[in-house]
Amino acid sequence: MVKIKLQEILEKEERSLNWVATKTGISYSTLHKLNNGETKSISFDVLERICLLLKIDVSELIEIKQEGTR
C-alpha cells in the first residue's frame, strides 16, 4: 500500500492544500485526491513540484507499507 503523507507534512508546516495548489500550479482537486488516497498514480512532475516547494525528499512524502501491516 502506498500512502502520501502530504497532510502530515502540511500540518507541521501550518500550510494548506490551497497554498500548495497556488504555489505549484497543481489543481486543488488533484491534491485533494492524493491527500485522501483517491488516486492510483502520481506523475513525476507533480511529485517534483510538491517536493521542491516543501523542500523535502520524495521518501518523506511517500510511504510504502506491505498489505496487512500498520
Model pLDDT, residue 31: 97
Q: Which domains does the chain have, with CATH numbers?
A: 2-64 (1.10.260.40)
Helices (H), the chain: 6-13, 17-24, 28-35, 44-54, 58-61
- Cα–Cα distance, 22 to 62 (Å, whole number): 21
**Along the 70 residues of the chain, how does pLDDT read in single tens digits?**
899 999 999 999 999 999 999 999 999 999 999 999 999 999 999 999 999 999 999 999 999 988 875 6
The pLDDT value recorded for residue 12 is: 97
State the virtual CA torsion across 32, 6, 61, 53 in degrees, nearest 10.
Answer: 90
Q: Does the reported pTM lie above 0.85? A: yes
What was the pLDDT predicted at 69? 59
Is 65 in contact with 3 (CB distance < 8 Å)? yes
Question: What is residue 68's predicted lDDT score, i.e. its pLDDT?
Answer: 73
